[in-house]
Amino acid sequence: MATLHVLFACILALLICSAAAAESYNKKNQVPAVFVFGDSLVDTGNNNYVHTIAKGNFPPYGRDFAGGRATGRFSNAKGVADYIAQVLGVKQLLPPYLDPSLDLQELLTGVCFASAGSGYDPRTPQKMFLSFFFSGFLDVKNAIPMMTQLNMFKEYIKRINASVGPERTQEIISQSAYIIFMGSNDLTNTYPTVDYRYTEESYTDLMISLALDFHKKLYEAGARRIGLVELPPTGCAPAIRSSQGGPRRECSESLNRRIRLFNSKLSLMVDQMNQELPGTKAVKFELYNHFVSLAENPAPYGIEEVKRGCCGTGNIESGVLCVVPGTCAAADKYLFFDSFHPTELAARILTYQTLSPPDLSKLF
């Protein structure tokens, strides 16, 4: 037991040193702002202001946040987007763009445009199919589509231009970091409903085509430092284990196979962006293997449960289903907070591992 305590202390010290090194590195290569686009894995509360059931602005979400406040993050406290802003040395929390209370300073240092339920495929934000444990689906109409997130960014540019003028606006837009974390909903929820029309190969090709179109338009709006985060092994999320993993609740290899296929094509797309878009510094950040490693060897980080979430039974509860009474006593002992989204601890570990200084240096 003493040996385990020493090992945990060493790993914790290593994680703290790694975070300190990343933050020190980014003070030297600091960006003026950070902008995040994506889905619920990085939504910091935009869906609070959208007519949809895909929200995380009620308990037990946010239970470990300052003041025990549910902010719209699908987490017990901070989420991945917050740690992206932190590792880039910009600020501790990344606010949702749709928050009407944002002041100018918050706007100037970056915001989140992500929306839970969104995807590259325009069909994805219209309905999130949860047929793997319901006979029908839950309607989450009005999740913010990817191109609408882009239009929100263009609106953002007009707002700050009116406040600080074109010269400073151009500096902020051209020098800031843009992080995109998108695609899990397409492969998890939409593909199974259209697989009669597409093979895994052709559907991931469609996703890449849509992603490339989005990133070209983002480039045209002024973005140059663009980071694309790999998709995690969503086939190992508790809800997928419950619906597709059999009696032993194993990971869904078919879903993870689709995700690996998309991730491999993402690498080629990043190469294409760097070749075709002058001045672009596009980087793919590896997440998949970091997630697998954490799930397979969680003990050094104090995590004990990787197959169930902290919320409710931990098997299927996410979003509105997370109101089921009874959550775990210590979220830090869990990889997942609900049946799809990581705890704050897991988000912090994975973000610092994914946005490591060697990979971040490629943005500069």
Query: What is the mean predicted confidence (pLDDT) over 190-212?
Result: 97
**341 counts as catalytic:** yes
**What confidence tens digit (pLDDT) does each residue in 40-72 have?**
999 999 999 999 989 999 999 999 999 999 999
Query: What is the mean predicted confidence (pLDDT) over 148-177?
Result: 98
Query: What is the mean predicted confidence (pLDDT) over 127-134?
Result: 44
Query: What is the mean predicted confidence (pLDDT) over 358-363?
Result: 94
Q: What sign has the CA pseudo-torsion 169, 174, 176, 180?
A: positive
Residue-averaged pLDDT of the chain: 90
Give the model's pLDDT for residue 358.
94
* Annotated catalytic residue within 40, 75, 118, 243: 40
User: Could you tell me if residue 141 is left (phi over 0), alpha (psi between -120 and 50 degrees) or otherwise beta?
Assistant: beta
Q: Specify burial of residue 177 (Cβ count, 10 A radius: 0-12, 13-18, 19+).
A: buried
Query: What is the mean predicted confidence (pLDDT) over 317-326?
Result: 83
Give the model's pLDDT for residue 23.
55
User: Does pLDDT of 127 surpass 80?
Assistant: no
Q: How confident is the model at residue 142 (pLDDT cuts 50, 70, 90)?
A: confident
* Annotated catalytic residue within 64, 121, 184, 341: 341
Could you give the CA distance from residue 214 to residue 308 in angstroms, rounded to a whole number? 35
DSSP, residue by residue, 14-29:
HHHHHHHHHHHHHHHT
* Annotated catalytic residue within 43, 64, 186, 338: 338
Give the model's pLDDT for residue 133.
38
User: Does pLDDT of 27 surpass 60?
Assistant: no
Query: What is the mean predicted confidence (pLDDT) over 347-363?
Result: 96
User: Does pLDDT of 306 surpass 60?
Assistant: yes
Could you give the CA distance from residue 299 to residue 304 in angstroms, rounded to a whole number? 6
Q: How confident is the model at residue 28 (pLDDT cuts 50, 70, 90)?
A: low
User: Does pLDDT of 267 surpass 70?
Assistant: yes
Q: How confident is the model at residue 321 (pLDDT cuts 50, 70, 90)?
A: confident
Give the model's pLDDT for residue 320.
86
Give the model's pLDDT for residue 323.
80
Could you give the CA distance from residue 92 to residue 134 in angstroms, rounded to a whole number? 38
State which amino acid sits at residue 213: D
Least confident of 13-27, 60-74, 97-111, 320-334: 13-27
**338 counts as catalytic:** yes
Residues 6+ apart with CB under 8 A from 296: none
Give the model's pLDDT for residue 19.
54
**64 counts as catalytic:** no
Query: What is the mean predicted confidence (pLDDT) over 241-267?
Result: 96
Give the model's pLDDT for residue 126.
83
